[in-house]
Amino acid sequence: MIEETLLIAQLKSIQTKEKAFRQLIFLYKERLYWHIRKIVISHDDADDVLQNTFIKIFKNIDKFNQESKLFTWMYRIATNESITFINKKAKQRNINITDYQQELVSSLASDDFFTGDEIQLILQKAIAILPRKQQLVFNMKYFDELKYNEMSEILGTTVGALKASYFHAVKKIESYIKKYTD
């Protein structure tokens, strides 16, 4: 795999930018897609947000100062793009974000690109009622298996606060699931 510093240098050079960008998409498209998908839920929306994320990355790569890892920086952009997207959609529908997310999750049962069983659907419903930060932390830790220090860089939150968020998220999800399965 191409070394990160070399890739960044190529991305910042006009001569090699496009080729390096293609490589960057190849390397990170799936990880970023799944992260976005868990936030915006539908495939079409995830596709839009993913494309916007890469466009933002392309346009702002010169401003990337390498204080964090490239992936962490891209992950942060993807997170912000996803949240902005959700907020816009909720605003257009004139409903609050929690209601909008509930609607999204409710539509999963008939979504061709959702293959989960009933318990998986309950899990998604449980995640949707969590506060935004707890949702992000839960998805990043539970599904993406990111380390707390990586999450801390992405979300700009202390490790301690992230652990507390994860703890509360798991507790709430457990009790939600218990209510439906007992």
Quote the least distance from Cβ 4 to other proteins, whole Å: 19
Q: Which is nearer to other proteins, 8 or 121 (CB)?
A: 121
Restricted to residues 13-72, the positions that interact with other proteins (CB under 8 A) are 18, 21-22, 25-26, 29-30, 33-34, 37-38, 43, 47-48, 50-52, 54-55, 58-59
How far apart CA 19 and CA 2 sit, in angstroms, is 13
93 binds other proteins (CB under 8 A): no
99 binds other proteins (CB under 8 A): no
Quote the least distance from Cβ 88 to other proteins, whole Å: 7
123 binds other proteins (CB under 8 A): yes
| Residue in the block written with tokens 């993913």 | 50
Nearest CA-CA partner of 127 in 142, 138, 141, 113:
138
How far does CA 100 lie from the centroid of its chain? 17
> By the 8 A CB rule, do 155 and 136 touch?
yes
Q: Which is nearer to other proteins, 25 or 95 (CB)?
A: 25
SS3 annotation, 48-103: HHHHHHHHHHHHHHHHCCCCCCHHHHHHHHHHHHHHHHHHHHHHHHCCCHHHHHHH
Helix H or strand E encompassing 172:
helix 159-181
113 binds other proteins (CB under 8 A): yes
8 binds other proteins (CB under 8 A): no
Binding site for other proteins (CB under 8 A): 18, 21-22, 25-26, 29-30, 33-34, 37-38, 43, 47-48, 50-52, 54-55, 58-59, 88, 91-92, 113-116, 119-120, 123-124, 141-143, 163, 166-167, 170-171, 173-174, 177, 181
